[in-house]
Amino acid sequence: MSERVQIVVPGDDPVQIAGSPHLDRLRAHGEVVIHDTTPADSAEKIERVRDAQIIINSRGVVTWREELHSLPNLKMITTCSIGTDMIDLEVAKEQGIVVSNQPGRTAPVVAEHMVGLMFALAKRAHFQSDELKSGRWTRRMNVMLQGKILGVVGTGAIGAEVARLGRALGMEVIAWTFNPSSERASELSELSVCFVELEELLAKADVVSLHVKLTPDSYHLIGADELAAMKEGALLLNGARGDVLDIDALCASLNSGHLGGAGLDVFPQEPLPADHTILECEQVVLTPHAADQTPEGVDLLNGGAVDNVLAFLSGQPKNNVAI
């Protein structure tokens, strides 16, 4: 595009991209408008981007579905994330809107966070800290991770990095994926990672870590039956999307004592309601969809969003998932 454009960040709350030096690369191409609050409703959201040709969607809580029909000027949306479940890709495709994401860009950052959750669960860090703060000297058996089996569900960039870190910790790693490929199998086989069926993974793994994207096929991929199939005392991690896991079934499994704990960075509803039943479960470690929220991770995502915009403006869009 040769003409100057309007580029809008519709809801940078909490701050993700405002103040990023990467935005300076866009100013020669047009006006950059940043809104630092979440739109109150659909009408306000549409009004904020009515004249925009490009949206930088820095926060997943700002969703784009039927609203896209009301935005004839819009040509492109880039996310500051790997996931695109906040955007109706079919509607975007119908409207001729390019949607670019950032596959694998922050995989090392997110994988490190998930391993951190695994350690916090295995060593009962949250529970034992709370006990000490309450004046109780409560000691429970912890879990030694070396020599245990880590089951990785989904072997994209993040899942593959979790597998690599698991092997570095001395864990046996098994994996399952929706989309097996010889390339990924070869890459992981070098780490002695073995692909198995999902049923076998759930039955064998001491720790199960979820890393699939949210699609109709993966909605509640892990439900009551799958949780029951897991080993007694196993740990479950979700770094995928909230609806990949049936959280009500998870609460029941935790409260029954079947599972040993759960570490979640994603939830079906975000922000998580203050009265959600998962908050009453004892052996959980929860983070607010913050796995990539390090200075390095944020900078990578901000830079990637700007790279996507510049590629689009040059006539060579990349990472387009609305196809």
pLDDT tens across 222-275, in order? 999 999 999 999 999 999 999 999 999 999 999 999 999 999 999 999 999 999
Task: Report, as an integer, the average pLDDT of 183-193.
Answer: 85
Looking at the structure, tell me whether residues 206 and 81 fall in a common domain: no
Q: Is residue 318 part of a domain?
A: no
Q: Is the pLDDT score of 1 beyond 70?
A: no
| pLDDT of 145 higher than 90 | yes
Across the chain, mean pLDDT equals: 96
> Do 57 and 8 form a contact (C-beta atoms < 8 A)?
no
Q: Is residue 16 part of a domain?
A: yes
The pLDDT confidence band at residue 3, using thresholds 50, 70 and 90, is confident
Give helix then strand counts, H and E, for the chain: 10, 12
Q: Is the pLDDT of residue 2 over 70?
A: no
Can you tell me the distance from the alpha carbon of 287 to that of 210, in angstroms, rounded to the nearest whole number? 15
Domain check: are 111 and 93 in the same one?
Answer: no
* 276 and 300 within one domain: no
pTM of the model: 0.92
The reply to whether 59 belongs to the active site is no
Specify the residue for token string 């300076």: 24
Residue 230 is classified by DSSP as S
pLDDT, tens digit, 9 for 90 and up, residues 269-297: 999 999 999 999 999 999 999 999 999 99
Same domain, yes or no: 73 and 133: no
Q: What is the pLDDT of residue 48?
A: 98
The end-to-end CA distance of the chain, in Å, is 20
Instruction: Examine the domain organization and report whether 238 and 137 are in the same domain.
Output: yes
- Return the closest-CA partner of residue 293 out of 45, 10, 59: 59
Catalytic residue among 112, 258, 270, 276: 270
Q: Is there a single domain that holds both residue 15 and residue 128?
A: no
Burial 138-159 (b: 16+ CB within 10 A, else e): eeeeebebeebbbbbbbbbbbb
State how far the Cα of 64 lies from the Cα of 127, in Å rounded to an integer: 39
pLDDT at 23: 97
Q: Say if residues 209 and 159 touch (Cβ distance below 8 Å).
A: yes
Q: State whether 70 and 31 are in the same domain.
A: yes
Tens-place pLDDT, residues 80-134: 999 899 999 999 999 999 999 999 999 999 999 999 999 999 999 999 999 999 9
% of the chain surpassing 90 pLDDT: 93
pLDDT at 181 over 80: no
Reported as a single tens digit per residue, the pLDDT across 28-46 is: 999 999 999 999 999 999 9
The DSSP code sequence of 282-304 is: SSEEE-SS-TT-SHHHHHHHHHH
H-helix or E-strand spanning residue 153: strand 149-153
29, 105, 124, 241: which one is catalytic? 241
Amino acid (one-letter) located at 301: L
Residue 186 and residue 84 share a domain: no
Amino acid (1-letter code) at residue 188: L
Flag whether pLDDT at 322 surpasses 90. yes
Strands 76-79 and 98-100, by their bridges, are parallel
Q: Do 65 and 160 have their domain in common?
A: no
241: annotated active-site residue? yes
Half-sphere exposure of 193 (CA within 13 A, CB side): 30
Q: Single out the catalytic residue among 48, 105, 164, 289.
A: 289
Q: Does residue 320 belong to any structural domain of this protein?
A: no
Tokens read off for 290: 């913050």
289 has catalytic annotation: yes
Contact indicator for 67, 93 with CB cutoff of 8 Å: no
Residue type, 22: H
* Residue 87 maps to a domain: yes
Is the backbone of residue 68 left (phi > 0), alpha (psi -120 to 50) or beta?
Answer: alpha
Find the CATH number of the domain harbouring 33.
3.40.50.720
Q: Looking at residues 61-83, what average pLDDT do you find?
A: 96
- Give the residue numbers spanning the domain of 253: 107-286
CB 126 within 8 A of CB 120: yes
* Residues 274, 127 within the same domain: yes
How much of the chain exceeds pLDDT 70, in percent? 99
Residue 319: inside a domain: no
Q: Is residue 120 part of a domain?
A: yes
Q: Look at residue 124 and give its three-state secondary structure.
A: coil
